[in-house]
DNA sequence: GTCTATAGGTGGATAGAC
DNA sequence: GTCTATCCACCTATAGAC
């Protein structure tokens, strides 16, 4: 199975750089790119702001690296789903599971968050953001298309269009669920859309606790 | 028909206050609450920052007033839809039309935008935000429920659950469409979900230009 | 690689003249 | 109601010692 995703075109991350990204990621996912500062990261790591600039010269570069890594992790997760020969319905459920695991940490999807701030982001971040959504769209389109052809999924639109709807729905459901502090809202919404696609059995859906 | 929405519990807005809110609203919808400053508003209006503080003592109060007014306008729009005796499908289409008109100004829904920044907002804004989504949910739940009973809409879940899915989908589709600078993405997503509900005829859907 | 120190700018907010 | 002037906290970023 060929590697199709995320060539590491930047130098591999040092341990310090990774630690910085970890903290920055959590902050960006909860407060947004404009909602955290170098001071916040430095305080959590117990270092000074100046040392952060050694690893990431500017906040713009930090932000870009943030998305690049996130995108790579997501790509790896999608490859992992593809590694097993699963039915399209099951792949979709696992895809939704990726979102659920993000939300269960009381975080918003990094890229959904940054999409809201899109017009205030430095161009390199805007481009990384686009790459993330495009990669998701391609993967979902393939899965949906196979499911449709196999007769195990149902929808009327072109698979690509349906993929876009799905991404938007999951991001939006996350956004609202998090602002209510209620991950269950996301789970129910996800179950709804999976059911619409025929990816959930009716019996299975009602087993979600009300 | 009784008035159910947005009792004006604050003093009516002066012309100056309205002008300030107009500019602030545009900024908040495009850049987010943390993405604009008093200086931005003052520059656009050709006044000083100090004079803004006369009308809105703090940014928190400005932000709160922003949501309150937006919520009131939305409520009025929903009442306008209810004023005519329309079929539920048509009401849904007009509801989607409200979102489309926001996006066509290259803006994101104010409250979808602020939902992303939720954890950084002052509590009074968080509460106003909740009121907005709750009002939308109530209105949609009623419409969906009537449509289901009349047999002109189809879905399996409780109407309230479906209402939440719809709100999340529309907000999410807006978010992504705007970050691609492509309102058509929103329109197609909206057509998809309306079709799922049986609120669009198949013939009608394909008339959307590809 | 991390520190201290600091530059240069912008944030929201206030006092007081007009 | 709007202005000038100013305060102080915070922002990103840099220089240079260790």
Average pLDDT over residues B158-168: 98
The 10s digit of each residue's pLDDT in B107-138 is 999 999 999 999 999 999 999 999 999 999 99
**pLDDT tens readout for residues B135-148:** 999 999 999 999 99
Q: What is the pLDDT of residue B13?
A: 95
Determine the distance in angstroms separating the CA of A192 from the nearest CA of chain B, rounded to an integer.
Answer: 8
Residue B130's closest chain A neighbor by CA?
Answer: A180
For residue A206, list chain B residues with Cβ-Cβ distance below 8 A. none
**What does the radius of gyration of chain B's CA atoms come to, in whole angstroms?**
18
Compute the residue count for chain A: 210
Contact A139, A78 (CB under 8 A): yes
> Minimal Cα–Cα distance from B84 to chain A, Å?
30
Q: Which residue has the tokens 């100046």?
A: A50
Query: Which run of H or of E encompasses B203?
Result: helix B202-205
- For residue B99, is pLDDT > 50? yes
Tens digits of residue pLDDT in A143-202: 999 999 999 999 999 999 999 999 999 999 999 999 999 999 999 999 999 999 999 874
Nearest CA of chain A to the CA of B14: how many Å?
31
Q: For residue B156, which residues of chain A lie inside 8 Å, CB to CB?
A: 195, 202, 205
Q: What percent of chain A has pLDDT over 90?
A: 89
CATH superfamily, with its number, for domain B60-205: Tetracycline Repressor, domain 2 (1.10.357.10)
Residue B5 has pLDDT above 90, yes or no: no
Closest C-alpha among B39, B111, B42, B38 to residue B70: B111
Q: Stated in angstroms, how far is A17 CA from C2 C1'? A: 13
Q: Can you count the helices (H) and strands (E) in chain B?
A: 10, 0
Q: Does residue B9 register a pLDDT over 70?
A: no
The two structure tokens encoding residue B86 = 């329309």
Binding-face residues of B in 2-31 toward A, CB within 8 A: 30-31
A chain contacts of residue B30, beta-carbon cutoff 8 Å? 119
B130 and A CB contact within 8 Å: yes
Q: Near strand D (CB < 7 A), which residues?
A: A 36-40, 49-50, 53, 57-60; B 14, 16, 46-51, 54-55
Using a CB–CB cutoff of 8 Å, tell me whether A131 touches chain B.
no
Q: How confident is the model at residue A11 (pLDDT cuts 50, 70, 90)?
A: confident
Q: Where are the domains positioned within chain A?
A: 66-205
Domain at A66-205: CATH code:
1.10.357.10
Mutation to test the B interface, candidates A115, A116, A130, A131, most B Cβ within 10 Å? A116
Q: Quick one: how far is CA A206 from the chain centroid? A: 27
- Checking if the pLDDT of A107 tops 90, the result is yes
Protein-covered nucleotides of chain D (CB closer than 7 Å) are 1-5, 10-16
User: Mean pLDDT of all residues in chain B?
Assistant: 93
Cα distance between residue B41 and residue A35, in whole Å: 20
How many residues are listed for chain B in this entry? 210
State the SS3 of chain A.
Answer: CCCCCCCCCCCCCCHHHHHHHHHHHHHHHHHCHHHCCHHHHHHHHCCCHHHHHHHCCCHHHHHHHHHHHHHHHHHHHHHHHHHCCCCHHHHHHHHHHHHHHHHHCCCCCHHHHHHHCHHHCCHHHHHHHHHHHHHHHHHHHHHHHHHHHHCCCCCCCCHHHHHHHHHHHHHHHHHHHHHCCCHHHHHHHHHHHHHHCCCCCHHHHCCCCC
Predicted confidence at residue A7, as pLDDT, reads 54
The DSSP 8-state label assigned to residue B35 in this structure reads: G
Taking the CA of residue B150 and the C1' sugar atom of nucleotide D8, their distance in angstroms comes to 63
A162 touches chain B (CB under 8 A): yes
pLDDT value, residue A146: 98
Which of B157, B174, B193 lies closest to A165 in CB terms? B193
Query: What distance in Å separates residue A39's CA from the closest CA in chain B?
Result: 16
CB-CB contact of A56 with A50 (8 Å): no
**pLDDT (tens digit, 9 = 90+) per residue, A58-79?**
999 999 999 999 999 999 999 9
Q: Which of B59, B119, B199 to mutate to test the interface with A (most CBs of A within 10 A)?
A: B119
Contacts B170 to A, Cβ<8 Å: 172
């Amino acid at each position: 199975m060929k590697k199709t995703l995320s060539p590491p075109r930047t130098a591999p991350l040092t341990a310090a750089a990774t630690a910085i990204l970890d903290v920055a990621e959590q902050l960006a996912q909860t407060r947004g790119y404009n909602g955290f500062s170098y001071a916040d990261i430095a305080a959590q790591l117990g270092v000074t702001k100046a040392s952060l600039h050694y690893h990431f010269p500017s906040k713009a570069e930090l932000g870009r690296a943030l998305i690049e890594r996130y995108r790579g992790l997501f790509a790896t997760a999608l490859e992992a789903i593809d590694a097993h020969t699963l039915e399209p319905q099951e792949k979709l459920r696992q895809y939704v599971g990726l979102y659920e695991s993000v939300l269960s940490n009381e975080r918003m999807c990094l890229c959904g968050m940054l999409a809201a701030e899109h017009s205030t982001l430095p161009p390199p971040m805007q481009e990384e953001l686009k790459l993330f959504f495009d990669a998701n769209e391609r993967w979902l389109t393939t899965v949906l298309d196979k499911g449709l052809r196999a007769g195990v999924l149902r929808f009327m639109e072109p698979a690509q269009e349906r993929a876009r709807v799905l991404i938007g729905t999951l991001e939006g459901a996350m956004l609202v669920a998090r602002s209510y502090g209620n991950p269950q809202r996301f789970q129910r919404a996800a179950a709804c859309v999976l059911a619409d696609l025929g990816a959930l059995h009716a019996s299975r859906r009602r087993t979600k606790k009300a």
